[in-house]
Structure 1
Amino acid sequence: MTYKTLSASIIYINEDMINQRIDNFLKKKFKNTPKSMIYRIIRTGKVRINKKRIKPNYKLKIGDYLKVPSIKVLIQEKKYFNVKNYEKNLLNNILYEDDHLLIINKPSGIAVHGGSGLNFGVIEYFRNVRPLEKFLELVHRIDRDTSGILILAKKRTSLVKMHQQIRENKIKKEYIALVHGLWPHNLKKISQPLLKITSNNKQKKVIINDNGKISETYFQIKKQYSFTTLISVFPKTGRTHQIRAHTSHVGCPILFDKRYGNLDLDKLIKNKESCNRLLLHAISINFIHPSNGNILNIKAPLDMNIRNFLQTLV
């Protein structure tokens, strides 16, 4: 592993940084620094606020003067992407924007953030093309292979209020999925706990396991074809890969799902459109605006790839 040392720095706390614990703030700012190092520099007094030592649970206040010592960060080798390659798919896919929120129709195949060998994702892209924005954070995440609605917060206060709605189950989401087989008409709810694991090939996934977290998904049939079913999906909880794992568990995996799907069934599908993307799309979201209290209902149209593929089904 290769490390580089960042010089000592001074950070003036503004309104977009307040009410965060100092340990959480530093862990987020220096993501590639071991947590043990973060806590050590706080404990030994090398981190100072207003020239005073503080504890890890200190909450930042507006006007605070934060001094951070020189610190080592891990340099990770990542795949780099040309920023311009994102412009057509992201700038043209903005569904809603104001001073508080930025909502896009994320294409399939683009990660929401860098990591797992990727240097660039949606959040890094918008920070790059919007350098004057003081604050930009993901409100939630969707899988790289899933398309559809993704919300970014442009103010910390908006992020906090949106996260509160998520915790209180006030945000309603609808997904569209095309699954293998004829979905049973009486199967309207799956409630199975999901446990995160790392498979033998070091791939992260979730499995049905009593030791996992409570997960609940509701379903409604939209249209049945000869060998597949188009369904609306309403996740009550927001676990990683929840929809993909639940549909696979009942023997109706989503088409072209390389992690939870059925490759043999995928091969049987007559694919005139050469569609090989996961057929899962976040089509709508309903929530309370974090500033004005209005109810917003945002819809994201299906991309041409999915629409054309559905037209070939019988």
Structure 2
Amino acid sequence: MKNIIGAKASPAASEVRFLTVDGEFAGQRLDNFLFRELKGVPKTHVYRIIRSGEVRINKGRAQAETRLEAGDVLRLPPLRMATVGHRADSSPSPPAREFPLLYEDDALLAIDKPAGVAVHGGSGVSSGVIEQLRAARPTARFLELVHRLDRETSGILLVAKKRSALTGLQQQFRERETGKTYLALVEGHWPANKKVLDAPLARYLLPSRPGSTEPGERRVRIVARDHPDAMRAVTLVEVLARVSLPIEPDAFSLVAVTIKTGRTHQIRVHLASAGHAIAGDDKYGDFERNRVLQRLGLKRMFLHAWRLQFTHPARGERMALQAELPPELRALMPGPALEALAVSAMPVTHD
């Protein structure tokens, strides 16, 4: 990475800066890149200048999750210099934490992410999986998220340990060469013949809270195919078992959901819009039903990243990983549902 004009030694500057992305940083998220480039600038301020459009990529607005490409030109607004000897970001250092490992070699690692942990910090979250993992492995030269999971979702999450692994795996995700299957408990009887959901999605923001200058919470909805913000989203659903819970016998379905596109909240919105919201979903679900489920012990959304298939970026071998249902979800499942799950288990392949 190098400055095109008048770079100062300090990462924070009181004048507009233009930076060019070299190949080493290709594929990295904009927010993660800026955290490294603007050391000493609070993360909340970094997100603020991105949302306001003050950070530009090739003269255009960008989002925090925008992936950088080699040759991109970034415009950074004037930033107040941090006082010498004083850390501008007073937020505590992320706690060092390792997560349950499903697989690891010199190119990548796969963890079983617990629910309730964001994959990265930002937007009110001080730290996530990647920051905590870096703190736990201070000698690691490179650790970057390959993809993401919602904070409320548990299951398989890939982290690259080399730049080449990151770019190779992300290309597989973009080209839909990976296989991603989730387990979800949904309300009602999912029709066995309803196997494909193909409905475009668009993101929007809820109204800001009264007196707040921050934008409202992000949501996603189904839109018409000719909507200007429409993004194609395809979800495949397979019924594994009918599930009876004490609140209402035979009122739920355990389904395996395979996504062919990786849109934000895709599974949650598609299933809810089909009339079968995910149990425990606090954004798109049945709030009254969720309160009853909490009394049965379901304190989270029943969505779990169960299986992931991909080609190893270095060896070229096809890999298949599987993360078993976490205890808090297994405890809710009656015996027949667990038996159906065991029958559908696939062979896990990794050396």
Same fold (TM over 0.5): yes
Question: For residues 26 and 233 of structure 1, do their structure 2 counterparts lie closer, same or farther at Cα, with a shift above 3 Å needed?
Answer: closer
Residue 216 (structure 1) shift: 0.5
**1:230 aligns to what?**
254
Matching of residue 104 in structure 1 with residue 118 in structure 2: no
Q: In the alignment, is the contact (CA less than 8 A) between 2:156 and 2:305 conserved in 1?
A: yes
Question: For residues 267 and 57 of structure 1, do their structure 2 counterparts lie closer, same or farther at Cα, with a shift above 3 Å needed?
Answer: closer
Q: In the alignment, is the contact (CA less than 8 A) between 1:23 and 1:57 conserved in 2?
A: no
Residue 37 (structure 1) shift: 7.0
Q: What amino acid is the match of 2:254?
A: L
**1:242 aligns to what?**
266
**2:95 aligns to what?**
83
Which aligned pairs between 1:6-45 and structure 2 lie closer than 5 A? 8=10, 18=24, 20=26, 27=34, 29-30=37-38, 32-33=45-46, 34=49
Which aligned pairs between 1:273-312 and structure 2 lie closer than 5 A? 274-311=297-334
Residue 311 (structure 1) shift: 2.6
Residue 186 (structure 1) shift: 1.1
Matching of residue 218 in structure 1 with residue 233 in structure 2: no
Looking at structure 2, the residues matched to 181 and 57 of structure 1 have their Cα atoms a distance apart, in angstroms, of 48
Looking at structure 2, the residues matched to 117 and 221 of structure 1 have their Cα atoms a distance apart, in angstroms, of 36
Matching of residue 124 in structure 1 with residue 131 in structure 2: yes
Aligned with 2:185 (options 160, 178, 186): 178
Question: For residues 21 and 218 of structure 1, do their structure 2 counterparts lie closer, same or farther at Cα, with a shift above 3 Å needed?
Answer: closer
Matching of residue 197 in structure 1 with residue 204 in structure 2: yes
Question: For residues 39 and 184 of structure 1, do their structure 2 counterparts lie closer, same or farther at Cα, with a shift above 3 Å needed?
Answer: closer
**1:133 aligns to what?**
140
Q: In the alignment, is the contact (CA less than 8 A) between 2:146 and 2:170 conserved in 1?
A: yes
SS in 2 for 1:246: helix
Q: What amino acid is the match of 1:310?
A: M
User: Aligned-residue CA RMSD in angstroms?
Assistant: 3.5
Question: For residues 162 and 236 of structure 1, do their structure 2 counterparts lie closer, same or farther at Cα, with a shift above 3 Å needed?
Answer: same
SS in 2 for 1:227: strand
Q: In the alignment, is the contact (CA less than 8 A) between 2:114 and 2:153 conserved in 1?
A: yes
Residue range with higher mean Cα deviation, 234-243 or 130-139: 130-139
Aligned with 2:290 (options 266, 278, 289): 266
Looking at structure 1, the residues matched to 219 and 304 of structure 2 have their Cα atoms a distance apart, in angstroms, of 19
Looking at structure 1, the residues matched to 27 and 168 of structure 2 have their Cα atoms a distance apart, in angstroms, of 17
Question: For residues 117 and 111 of structure 1, do their structure 2 counterparts lie closer, same or farther at Cα, with a shift above 3 Å needed?
Answer: same
**1:206 aligns to what?**
220
Looking at structure 1, the residues matched to 25 and 93 of structure 2 have their Cα atoms a distance apart, in angstroms, of 34
Residue 130 (structure 1) shift: 0.8
Question: For residues 232 and 128 of structure 1, do their structure 2 counterparts lie closer, same or farther at Cα, with a shift above 3 Å needed?
Answer: same
Q: What amino acid is the match of 2:284?
A: Y
Q: In the alignment, is the contact (CA less than 8 A) between 2:94 and 2:132 conserved in 1?
A: no
Say how many residue pairs are matched: 275
Q: In the alignment, is the contact (CA less than 8 A) between 2:23 and 2:70 conserved in 1?
A: no
SS in 2 for 1:253: coil
Aligned with 1:115 (options 115, 122, 126): 122
Q: What amino acid is the match of 2:10?
A: A
**1:46 aligns to what?**
none
Q: Which runs of 5+ in 2 are unaligned?
A: 1-7, 12-21, 60-68, 83-87, 210-215, 244-249, 338-351
Looking at structure 1, the residues matched to 26 and 192 of structure 2 have their Cα atoms a distance apart, in angstroms, of 47
Q: What CA deviation, in whole Å up to 9, does each residue of 1:130-160 have, x standing for no partner? A: 1111111100000000000000001111100
With normalisation by structure 2, the TM-score equals 0.69
Percentage identity across aligned positions? 34
Q: What amino acid is the match of 2:143?
A: L
With normalisation by structure 1, the TM-score equals 0.77
Looking at structure 1, the residues matched to 194 and 119 of structure 2 have their Cα atoms a distance apart, in angstroms, of 31
Looking at structure 2, the residues matched to 58 and 279 of structure 1 have their Cα atoms a distance apart, in angstroms, of 42
Question: For residues 23 and 280 of structure 1, do their structure 2 counterparts lie closer, same or farther at Cα, with a shift above 3 Å needed?
Answer: closer
Q: What CA deviation, in whole Å up to 9, does each residue of 1:27-56 have, x standing for no partner? A: 46337554677779x99xxxxxxxxxxxx9
Q: What amino acid is the match of 1:169?
A: R
Looking at structure 1, the residues matched to 29 and 298 of structure 2 have their Cα atoms a distance apart, in angstroms, of 45
Q: In the alignment, is the contact (CA less than 8 A) between 1:283 and 1:300 conserved in 2?
A: yes
Looking at structure 1, the residues matched to 318 and 179 of structure 2 have their Cα atoms a distance apart, in angstroms, of 11
Q: What amino acid is the match of 2:168?
A: K
